[in-house]
Structure 1
Amino acid sequence: MTYFFDWLALLIFFTAWVAYTRYASEQGKRYHSLSSIMHHYRMDWMQRLLRRENRVADMSAVGNLERNSAFFASASIFIVAGLITALAASEQVIRLLNEISFVQTGTKALWEAKVGVLIVVFIYAFLSFTWSMRQFGFMSVMIGSAPTPTESIDDSVKRQFAIHGAKVMDLAGRQFNLGLRAFYFSLAVVGWLLGPFWFVAGTAVIIGVLYRREFRSTTLKELIRARGLDPDQRIDRE
């Protein structure tokens, strides 16, 4: 019972994370979000790609996106290695943290649980980023196989290529977003070192920041207006 609020805070954390992920996915089908507006730009990209012979710039752009995922995947695995090291030296770390007045480490078991949760979060981030990398790699192959403007290929085939090419890009971008979201939520877990209240408060703040950036940011509004769309218009996308 001593650590009831710690475990309750942990339950709230995971529930809030899953709930927000589901909410963002469903809300993005009805209203503009960063993910939904980028789908429009990816469709434009694929359609214009089919009208040009030289695809070097397209391959370079996909390579840049893949490198972004690779950077965060590498960072995730290094963080996991550091956390495992901290876990192996739990007693020394607890002794050092106990010298900080506002840090609540609790028992060794509770400290190991906190570090364990962070390890799980970053392993999830690593898996998301590496899958994003692979999907961007698949996209490179698709671009290499894309029909050229001079080929005698039916327009319906080209249209299907553009639609599904944009979809593969959407899926790669979604995995990147999930991994990046894990980095955000890991900051809430750091708040657990201060106590369960700060853990829950940090979770709420992270969700607020994510919602603001994904659905209410100035960047989103400019991306929408750049395509001549209304930021407040429902989209009802499947």
Structure 2
Amino acid sequence: MDPNTALPGLPAFGPLSPADLAALLWLFLAWLGIGWITENPPRAHPSVTVLMKAYRREWMRQFITRDPRIFDSAILTTLREGTAFFASACLIAVGGGLALIGNTDQLAGVARQFDLGHVPTLKWEIKIVVVLFFVANALLRFVWSHRLFGYCAIIMASVPNEPDDPRAAPLAMQAADINITAAKSFNSGLRCVYFALGALGWLAGPWGLFLATSYVLFISWRREFASHSRRAIMKPVPGETGLLPGKPEGEHPRP
């Protein structure tokens, strides 16, 4: 079966066949869907992203009494370096993708290897633009995350050294909220990178896009809801109470 063959009852859209449109729709639905369920999971089964929000707030509570605060500074520096690395990588990828749009002849060999027949130049360009959409979106989110972690560092620096100072706790919680927002933007950027890799499956045709998207969706879901790291985070810690969302103080779910 030719992957570019029109599906019965469905019209084509320019160089894109109905199979292409269906696979493209699946790509965007999967991307939006996993992003929504990650940030709004069932209360009884929170995602890793939601679980870590509680630990980020606890970090800032401990930060108030820690002296010296060099350890906290080192953690924040590491987080900023991570966002800067991914932002730089995405910037390079955007430049490479823009250069490839003007030279799609190199992709013709890919079509021959997968026996896809003749693929119009416009169709190659659309495929590259879809990948660039995710990469550019990731770039913007990484840059914003990097800036938010900078805001967090400034607010943390404004927290008084005396734990009993009435300004300490409110400022620390402000820093926690900014930190959580920065992490949310960073995680969103990572999802865009994942689905950009999935969008590359379109080079093998609509079925390649469908399979690649499904694989990325499964990996993303597993890491948030069924991974070993999640089980480790959910393990009860003696003396720690009220960290896990959806559980009253002193109650922890079993691993």
TM-score (norm 2): 0.83
Letter in 2 for 1:69: T
Q: Which moved more, 1:19-28 or 1:58-67?
A: 19-28
Q: 1:104 to 1:6 in 2, by over 3 A?
A: farther
1:94 Cα deviation from its structure 2 partner:
3.3
The structure carrying a bigger helix percent of its residues is 1
Percent of pairs identical after alignment? 26
Matched residue, 1:112? 125
Matched residue, 1:153? 165
Unaligned runs of 5+ in 2: 1-11, 249-255
Matched residue, 2:191? 181
Alignment partner of 1:200 is 2:200:
no
Matched residue, 1:141? 154
Q: 1:29 to 1:65 in 2, by over 3 A?
A: farther
C-alpha offsets along residues 109-164 of structure 1, whole Å, 9 cap, x if unaligned?
Answer: 111000011111100000000000001001110111111126x622xx43323332
In the TM superposition, structure 1's runs of 4+ consecutive aligned residues that sit over 4 Å from their partners are 102-105
> Alignment partner of 1:27: what SS?
coil
C-alpha offsets along residues 173-227 of structure 1, whole Å, 9 cap, x if unaligned?
Answer: 1111000111111121111111112211221211111111111111111112154
Aligned counterparts, 1:120-135, within 5 A: 120-135=133-148
1:61 Cα deviation from its structure 2 partner:
0.9
Match of 1:93 among 96, 101, 106: 106
1:105 Cα deviation from its structure 2 partner:
6.8
CA distance in 2, matches of 1:69, 1:13: 25
Q: Which moved more, 1:46-55 or 1:205-214?
A: 46-55
RMSD value, Cα: 2.4
State whether residues 134 and 192 of structure 2, in contact with CA within 8 Å, keep that contact through their aligned partners in structure 1: yes
Matched residue, 2:3? none
Match of 1:39 among 30, 42, 53: 53
Unaligned runs of 5+ in 1: none
1:86 Cα deviation from its structure 2 partner:
0.9
> Alignment partner of 1:19: what SS?
helix
CA distance in 2, matches of 1:138, 1:69: 14
1:33 Cα deviation from its structure 2 partner:
1.9
Q: 1:198 to 1:37 in 2, by over 3 A?
A: same
Match of 1:58 among 57, 65, 72: 72
